[in-house]
Structure 1
Amino acid sequence: MLKGKKLKFPDRLGSLVSGFDDKDEDSGGSGSVFESGEELEIIQPNGYGSDRESETDDEEEDEVEETKVKKQGEVLEHKGRQRPEKDGSIHVSGMKKVIEEDEKRSDIEHELSQKEINLEKLQRIASTGLPNGGSLRATVWKLLLGYLPPSRDLWEKELTENRQKYAKLKEELLLTPSELARMKEEALLSNEHNADSVTDGPLTRQEISHEDHPLSLGKASVWHRYFEHTEIAEQIDRDLKRTHPEMKFFSGETSFSRKHREAMRNILLLFSKLNPAIRYVQGMNEVLAPIYYVFSTDTDEQNASNAEADSFSCFVRLLSDSVDHFCQQLDNSSVGILATLSRLAELLKANDEELWRHLEFTSKVKPQYYAFRWITLLLTQEFNLQSILRIWDSLLSNPFGVQVSVS
């Protein structure tokens, strides 16, 4: 990461990196998409997305699926609170685990109830894993990433402001120029109380400048800036369809899964537009998925309904710790991915020289062949989602940053 310049969440959620030239879109990035790990939930043949389903059946199944996802956390939470039966059918180790989980849940709930959160204590608790279910993981992750301040009194204000900023950015950067122009015109006329003069239909020719014409080739044209992200948007769409394909939450052609993909598409496209030096790099969809899943399945309905805005803010913060690894121009620098891989090899040599010698000399397997995606994608391609959530509890709780934990 950039020395002495820890990237912060800007007032306008602006560029993470300044001073870098826009890199060629064709250069892509260093990440790649691989198959996911162990199955969580299987899409059955002839299931969702069949052309023979009626819209009514589709909507009913979507409601059932969304209810199932929301209930999942409640079921896990209930199981976590169950005490072993007296018939001795549960092993002693199982009893101990249930008790430990219950105690940990109580510790976290107590800590989150304080007016001023002790982040060091919360990090220690989270490093050993957070209980499933409820709102605990979503709330703790927001605190660990700095999205929520330690003072509970400021939570509502911070959430409201950041969600409003995100809505404004979507309006400015994700709407077509004609849609934005129409909204501005209608707002202006409404403010002037000239409702009778509001006309429907396209803008008249004389109201469109040459630079704002859809066919304008000028680089300063708002349409040129809008269309230059078309290829990136298409790449994002392709990658999102491959994100945890075994899970109905992300995959399939139901309105339930499409809704989540659309939200993630907005986040990734907006990030790309705000960060022209990095843009979208294949694999960022995998890094976003755990955050969006946790926030969307929050049992607090208001938080769940704002999962898109909250996920964007936390995604920006998470990448600020590893953004140099996604910038190809920095690959060979002291803060690039190759330098990080070298540090990983040094750590392996210091802690397990026998294994290091086997990889380095016997097998001649360099770190870039086995650890590249571990570091860039934070282990999201190596395990199933439930395991990823547990691993991220530890990664996010490291006070020195996520990349220190990975490498």
Structure 2
Amino acid sequence: MQGRINLQDEVDRVLGGGPLGMNVDQAKSICLREGLTVSPVRSLVWMLALGVLDPAQTDKWPNQARAWRKSYARKKRKLLVNPNKAKSKTSDNPLADDKDSLWTVYFANEELREEIKRDLTRTYPEMEFFHSDRIQGLLLDALFVYAKTYPDPSYRQGMHELLAPLVYVLAHNRDRDAVTVPDWLDPIYATSDAALEADAYQLFHIIMDTARPWFAVTNAPRGTIPPPSPIVLKCQNLQDGMLKRVDRELYDHLVDVGVEPQLYALRWARLLLGREFHLDDLVIVWDGLFAHSPDLALLDHICVAMLVYLRDQLLESDYVYTLRRLMKFPPVEDVRCFVEQGLALATSKTPLRSRSKAEIDAAAAAAATARRDADRAADPLSGRSHARGGASTFAKSIIATAHGGASPAPVIGASSSSPRRRRRRNGNSSSSPAPNTDNDALQRVSDHVSDLLATNHQLGTKLTDLVAVLQGEVHTKEPPSRETLYMAIAGLKQIKDVLLGNLPYSPDAPLDIVVPPARHDINYTEPDDVDAADVDIEPAPSEPAPSDPAAPSEPAAPSEPATSEPDTAPPLPPPVLDLIGDVSSPIGSKLSVFGDVDDEFGDPDSLFDNL
């Protein structure tokens, strides 16, 4: 069936053999170096690394799996008490006070299961897989069995986040629609819910052998201070011991701002970094964690590497931001760097500071640049553009320019459908010889590209200035200047003609594109608040004295009608008139040129069609 992954192929690749031989050291090396990505062999490697399966006795694996599954099933049946079906004494009833009463045990079990259920509803809420009734019931029963088997510490919040990734990996590795399983591994990759639950419990049990003390609660007589719990001591050693030796500056900063290690490291350690990374990244970290040793000794070194990764941000932060950053770790492009750095810290005999985020990013950028330079040196003209037709036309024009306007000569031995053949990176030559490199042609290509970049920069600068002018006219409180608008439009039209190839342009002799002064460049200041005492106030006209009604009144002289001069725009300079044409039409019609410019910028490919 197409789309399936062949498990046998993955076993051969990772473990180096079939049922007659298992190279576990090779698998561990892969886990520590690169992780297993989405390989269905992950659950098998985890079982081998944690000691659930013996790599030297592959023929006994079916019997071993059958044994631990039966043992788990018996334990589960014994612990899931149902008084209604059990044979009990007549006096045993729901109201009995006897601590050995089946009803007392039943009520205690139900209380414990309700506590576990509350946490399970919050398990990876964004992933539908964990919220089906099937998976919820499976997780509930496995955690309940563990809590009853180990009353100290019983169940503690966070244990569900250790079990959930195990169930996720086991279930997806056994999906028969995605994985083809060979017959000899079919008993290990059993698909029943009972087998999935028992196998997940077996892995969880081994992990908890190391992590159980981290969930313990220390008690002390009343009135006395309890001793530090194992998890607090672990957190203190992480910051006050290991980080102090690796990066003293960062350690001093955390102490100065008052960040206690248990505030962030307690969750990191208890959940094996389960909340710091996405689940798909977390399992890659767990690949290295389990492969290093079943006692999870690499965990502390990975935590130190994570602290140093954030050093540049933390050193510039106060208490609040530092704690927020540590409690919500930022997304990481490749979590394998933490396994790599943690392993380096674990194997170094001298204090070795791991790399910060800036250093890792710089190293990745340098490596990418080195690979790109190597590719260009091997075949300088083999770069291909993935843009649309306009960009390909642009690339062809560059090559044509390099060859004096003619198409490049075909490569001898290359097929007609592919005029150039990329040289293989591994150094093996193909059947056709490598193309000859014309130094003059390459120089012309380089010069042409340099001119294009210079042109883009100059036109971009002019365009920025023109946009600033238009913004100044739009946002001013005064009426916009018609002359300024016309001049800005003229400059935009020049840039458009250059981009369309209608107007020659050279960065060595650029055009004198008209850019009027922007509104914010004009020395304009708002008037200060005016004091009434500083203003000459004309006296208000006095009311006319009441006239004598007996006196004859003279007719008032007729007032001349007020005339206003027409609002005429100042004349534009001749160069502007030549560029924008007739200016007698309303300004609204002239703004239509923006539509043309916008169309050209809306389609990036069209910018190169006429170059």
1:394 aligns with one of 288, 306, 319: 288
Secondary structure of the residue that 1:250 maps to in structure 2?
Answer: helix
For the residues of structure 2 that align with 1:325 and 1:240, how far apart are their CA atoms?
20
Corresponding residue of 1:329: 218
Partner of residue 359 from structure 1, selected from 254, 266, 278: 254
1:304 maps to which residue?
Answer: 191
CA distance in 2 between counterparts of 1:226 and 1:128 reads 49
Per-residue CA deviations over 1:230-273 (Å, capped at 9, x if unaligned) read 2221121111111000001013xxxxx11001000000111111
Q: Does 1:236 align with 2:116?
A: yes
Give the number of the structure with larger relative contact order, counting CA–CA contacts within 8 Å between residues 6 or more apart.
Answer: 1
State the number of aligned residues.
Answer: 279
Q: Partners in 2 of 1:76 and 1:330 — Cα distance? A: 53
The match for 1:53 is none
Letter of the 1:145 partner, please give it: L
Flag the 1:156–1:330 CA change in 2: closer, same or farther, 3 A: farther
CA–CA separation in structure 1 for the residues paired with 2:44 and 2:299 = 21
Residue type matched to 2:43 in 1? A
Any idea what SS the aligned residue of 1:280 has? coil
CA distance in 2, matches of 1:178, 1:107: 53
Question: How big is the shift at 1:107?
Answer: 3.1
| Residues in 1 aligned to 2:80 and 2:299: alpha-carbon distance in whole angstroms | 35
| Aligned match of 1:50 | none
Cross-structure match for 1:288: 163
Equivalent position to 2:126, from 246, 252, 263: 246
- Measure the CA separation in 2 of the matches of 1:321 and 1:246: 29
* 1:47-86 map, 5 Å: 77=5
Q: Which runs of 5+ in 1 are unaligned?
A: 1-70, 79-101, 182-206, 252-256
Tell me the percent identity.
Answer: 31
CA distance in 1, matches of 2:142, 2:81: 14
Give CA-to-partner distance per residue, 1:344-381, whole Å, 9 cap, x none.
011111111111111111x2111111211000110001
Deviation digits for residues 275-297 of structure 1 (CA, Å, limit 9, x no counterpart): 11111101111111110111111
Name the aligned partner's letter for residue 248 of structure 2. Answer: E
Preserved contact between residue 269 and residue 299 of structure 2 (Cα < 8 Å): no
**Does residue 373 in structure 1 map to residue 267 in structure 2?**
yes
Contact 2:147–2:155 (Cα < 8 Å) also in 1: yes
Partner of 2:202: 313
Partner in structure 1 of residue 65 of structure 2: 159
- Counterparts of 1:68-107 in structure 2, within 5 Å, are 77=5, 106-107=12-13
Residue 267 of structure 1 is matched in structure 2 by 142
Shift of 1:221: 1.3
Relative to the length of structure 2, the TM-score reads 0.43
Match of residue 300 from structure 2:
406
Residue 153 of structure 2 aligns to a residue in which SS? coil
Taking the TM superposition and a 5 Å limit, the aligned residue runs for 1:189-228 are 208-210=89-91, 212-228=92-108
- The one-letter amino acid of 2:206's match is R
Distance 1:157 1:330, change over 3 A: farther
**Structure 1 outlier segments of 4+, above 4 Å:** 74-78, 330-335
User: Is residue 341–residue 367 contact of structure 1 (8 Å, CA) maintained in 2?
Assistant: yes
Q: CA deviation at 1:384?
A: 1.1
Q: Distance in 1 between matches of 2:203 and 2:137?
A: 18
Distance (Å, rounded) in 2 between the aligned partners of 1:403 and 1:179: 46
Change (3 A) 1:300 1:259: closer
Aligned residues of 2:235 and 2:266 also touching (Cα < 8 A): yes
- CA distance in 1 between partners of 2:251 and 2:67 (Å): 49
Which residue, out of 341, 347, 359, partners 2:242?
347
Q: TM-score, normalised by structure 1?
A: 0.63
1:366–1:266 distance in 2 versus 1, CA, 3 Å: same
1:135 matched to 2:78: no
**Counterparts of 1:304 and 1:134, CA distance in 2:** 17
State the SS of the aligned residue for 2:190: helix
Distance 1:303 1:381, change over 3 A: same
- Structure 1 residues 215, 115: CA separation in 2 closer, same or farther (over 3 Å shift)? farther
Where does residue 186 of structure 1 map in the other structure? none
Q: Which amino acid counterpart does residue 97 of structure 2 have in structure 1?
A: L
Any conservation in 1 of the 2:272–2:299 contact (CA below 8 Å)? no
Distance 2:279 2:4 in 1: 15
Larger radius of gyration: 2
On the 8 A contact 1:321/1:403 being kept in 2, the answer is no
Distance 2:282 2:266 in 1: 17
Are 2:47 and 2:203, in contact at CA under 8 Å, matched by a contact in 1?
yes
Whole-angstrom CA distance in 2 between matches of 1:153 and 1:145: 19
Q: Secondary structure at the match of 2:84?
A: helix
CA distances 1:44-93 after superposition (whole Å, capped 9, x unpaired): xxxxxxxxxxxxxxxxxxxxxxxxxxx9xx96959xxxxxxxxxxxxxxx
- Label 1:138 to 1:400 Cα distance change in 2 as closer, same or farther (>3 A): closer
For 2:51 and 2:175, locate their aligned partners in 1 and report how far apart those are by CA, in whole Å. Answer: 20
Task: Give distance in 2, aligned partners of 1:298 and 1:132.
Answer: 12
Deviation at 1:177, TM superposition (A): 3.1
Instruction: Tell me which residue corresponds to 1:52.
Output: none
Report the residue type matching 1:276 in the other structure: P
Question: CA separation in 2, counterparts of 1:357 and 1:391?
Answer: 28
Cα separation, 1, equivalents of 2:276 and 2:50: 23
CA deviation vs aligned residue, 1:140-184 (integer Å, no higher than 9, x gap): 111112111222112111100111111111211124133354xxx
Partner of 1:169: 75
Equivalent position SS for 1:229: helix
Find the aligned partners of 2:45 and 2:227 in 1 and give their Cα distance: 34
Structure 1 Cα separation of the partners of residues 101 and 296 of structure 2? 39
1:158–1:295: structure 2 CA closer, same or farther, 3 Å change rule?
same
Over 3 Å counting, the alpha-carbon distance change for 1:406 and 1:219 in structure 2 is same
Q: Is the 8 A contact 1:297 1:304 kept in 2?
A: no
Mark the CA change 1:353 to 1:75 in structure 2 (over 3 Å): closer, same or farther.
Answer: farther
